[in-house]
Structure 1
Amino acid sequence: MPAALDIDQLQTFIAIVDTGSFTRAADKVFKTQSAVSMQMRRLEERVGKSLFVKDGRMNRLSEDGERLLGFARRMIRLNNETIAAFDDQQLEGSIRIGTPDDYADRYMPGIIARFAKTNPNVELYIECEPSRELTIKMARGELDVALVTHNPRERMSEVVRTEPLYWVTSMNHTVHEDTPVPLAVGRRSCNWRNLACTALDSAGRDYQILFTSWSATVVASAVLSGLAVSLLPECAVRPGMRILSPAEGFPALEPAQIGLIKRPGAPAALVNAICGHIAASLDNITPVGHDEAAANSSQTPVARRDNRARNDFAAVPAW
């Protein structure tokens, strides 16, 4: 019978990925850097694969390392759920969470389901608002945790997910060829709206804002109906949408980052528990419509996967 994987080694492996550094991972798991390196060598010996590959003076996850990461997170989550099921001192109370509606639509079902399994006595209050409004509510003490679009110029948040930001159009229409290009975006204060306008201005592309809404559903509907072009993070690309390329006159965009804000003074145990579930869930999510959109994009799925790996896992110093 094969020897079992070591949970402690898997936790250290995940810590390296989450922090992007052996040194920071050592601090997180309360070990020396040499102990962390030794654990990774033993884990590689156990699975019989190299988990990291050299990239100049740095190390990054190998393809086998990426494969192991998904299994490792599921094993740690199941381990924690098992322990929680026999915990006589389970968390109780309520926690207030804020999130934009597009994040709520994509992320919250899985987060809520997993959190409820391990914390059945905790009531979740979830409010959907744009990131800017959520930041204001956090400052007023009206929320305990907020999942927001990371924007260090406007708010401080802990980045928990990085993914590409794409121009999207309908697969069945040619509205992206129109002049001016019709856009579906958020309100004037929306960061992505401002980014879209700035990018098109820089490219010398004429555009006209036809649809303005905070609702991700409204924006997606305008795109799918062939009425407008928009820009969306990879996770929000839906079946029926096509990713537009620079060759089609739509300039490449900086990646989108999703962050967490915690209210000082909020119940620490509850906040840490829900934030842990959010961070783990977002790292594991497969984007909706990713494969279909990829098939109709100028960038191949492999190329995007490699780019996403570089974004999600910062370069790790060599051992």
Structure 2
Amino acid sequence: MRNLDITTLRSFVAVADNGGVTRAAGFLHLTQSAVSMQLKRLEELLGLQLLDRSGRTIALTASGEQLLAYARRMVALNDEVIGRLTDQAYEGEIVLGVPHDIVYPAIPQVLQRFNASFPRVKVQLISSFTRSLKEQFSRGECDLILTTETTTSENGETLAERPLCWIGAPNGSAWRQRPLKLAFGRYCTFRPKVVGALDVAGIAWDMVVETDSDRTIEATVSADLAIHTMIEGTEPPHLVQIDHAGNLPELPVQLINLYGAETSGSPMVSELAFLVRKAFQNISAPLAAAQSHWTAA
């Protein structure tokens, strides 16, 4: 297999751009003989004549014209890779805040993709409640935050609109019990909407778990000792949406909002915001379709 050398391609592009070997050598800070040798080596590798040397000035042959477009792209890509991996401009730390219940499945994939592009940038992930995240963002402690809300505040961007759904254990029966046993976080923004809907529907309820730990909630619900609510499409694989056939009230639509993307001024933050935006815009599709999109992209 023959491999093109970036150094020779760079010399070729310089000759084409500067109209000759002499000017290209000055631009590259090389001797004329060094540039000529690189061009000869490139022609020998390809088995093609790239330069027409018959006139007073050097011109590109048809093959040379065809190679030039590829050479520009390969040199530019090489420089981008080197810049991303070594330039101090692409070092630092970004603080990303995400509510507990929408970390999966999107955020791990976002972090993986961002790290591939900016390996020298650390992303500190803070997982908390929407209210806490907005307070931290207002104090400048987060660069980007996601929230789950029913409205969008100033400078916010809505990425997705999805309904809340009832979540329980696979083949569970806790949702049939009365009073209905619930497990929620103390500061969960869904909680007042859920209990309000139950009150309107005349369904008695009992808050059997009130905690700051999502793991505690998941363990309780997985054991079929209570039920919970989550945004449709974000439930973990060990929990399922409850097919209650209308025996539980319908729940309101929630907005997944992004804050900080328009005010950062940082290309790294903008890139992270782009990946987050792309991930959560896919949340309107079934989870499997969203994962397929990420794999194919």
Kindly provide the amino acid, as one letter, of the partner of residue 273 in structure 1: E
Structure 1 counterpart of 2:202, from 201, 204, 221 = 204
In the other structure, the counterpart of 1:86 is 80
8 Å Cα contact 1:165-1:233 kept in structure 2: yes
In the other structure, the counterpart of 1:191 is 189
1:179 is aligned to 2:173: no
**CA deviation digits over 1:86-121, x for unaligned, max 9?**
355433322111112232343221001101111222
In the other structure, the counterpart of 1:8 is none
In the other structure, the counterpart of 1:120 is 119
Q: 1:271 to 1:242 in 2, by over 3 A?
A: closer
Structure 1, gaps ≥5 residues long: 1-81, 292-300, 306-319
In the other structure, the counterpart of 1:95 is 94
Q: 1:218 to 1:113 in 2, by over 3 A?
A: same
Give the RMSD, CA atoms, in angstroms.
3.0
Q: 1:246 to 1:159 in 2, by over 3 A?
A: same
Query: Relative to structure 2, which stretch is displaced further, 201-210 or 102-111?
Result: 102-111
8 Å Cα contact 1:245-1:252 kept in structure 2: no
Kindly provide the amino acid, as one letter, of the partner of residue 271 in structure 1: V
**CA deviation digits over 1:272-301, x for unaligned, max 9?**
11100111122335989x68xxxxxxxxx9
In the other structure, the counterpart of 2:39 is none
SS at match of 1:283: helix
8 Å Cα contact 1:101-1:215 kept in structure 2: no
Shift of 1:160: 1.2
SS at match of 2:105: helix
SS at match of 2:252: coil
Q: 1:113 to 1:276 in 2, by over 3 A?
A: same
In the other structure, the counterpart of 2:159 is 160
Structure 2 counterpart of 1:218, from 210, 216, 227 = 216
8 Å Cα contact 2:146-2:257 kept in structure 1: yes
Q: 1:239 to 1:157 in 2, by over 3 A?
A: same
Higher relative contact order (CA 8 A, sep 6+): 1
Structure 2, gaps ≥5 residues long: 1-75, 85-89, 291-297
SS at match of 2:190: helix
Structure 2 CA distance for aligned equivalents of residues 93 and 231 of structure 1: 37
Structure 2 CA distance for aligned equivalents of residues 93 and 213 of structure 1: 34
Shift of 1:234: 1.8
Structure 1 CA distance for aligned equivalents of residues 139 and 278 of structure 2: 28
Q: 1:235 to 1:177 in 2, by over 3 A?
A: same
SS at match of 1:280: helix
Shift of 1:182: 0.4
Structure 2 CA distance for aligned equivalents of residues 164 and 84 of structure 1: 45
In the other structure, the counterpart of 2:239 is 241
Larger radius of gyration: 2
**CA deviation digits over 1:114-154, x for unaligned, max 9?**
01111222221221211111111111111111111134377
Query: Relative to structure 2, which stretch is displaced further, 126-135 or 242-251?
Result: 242-251
Identity over the aligned pairs, expressed in percent?
24
Structure 1 CA distance for aligned equivalents of residues 129 and 249 of structure 2: 25
8 Å Cα contact 1:102-1:215 kept in structure 2: no
Kindly provide the amino acid, as one letter, of the partner of residue 144 in structure 2: V
SS at match of 2:141: coil
Q: 1:282 to 1:210 in 2, by over 3 A?
A: same
**CA deviation digits over 1:197-239, x for unaligned, max 9?**
0110010000000111243332222111100011111233234
Structure 2 CA distance for aligned equivalents of residues 125 and 222 of structure 1: 29
Aligned residues: 210
Relative to the length of structure 2, the TM-score reads 0.62
In the other structure, the counterpart of 2:129 is 130
Structure 2 CA distance for aligned equivalents of residues 131 and 85 of structure 1: 40
Structure 1 CA distance for aligned equivalents of residues 121 and 210 of structure 2: 37
8 Å Cα contact 1:236-1:287 kept in structure 2: no
Kindly provide the amino acid, as one letter, of the partner of residue 181 in structure 1: L
8 Å Cα contact 1:172-1:240 kept in structure 2: no
In the other structure, the counterpart of 1:281 is 279
Q: 1:285 to 1:248 in 2, by over 3 A?
A: closer
Relative to the length of structure 1, the TM-score reads 0.58
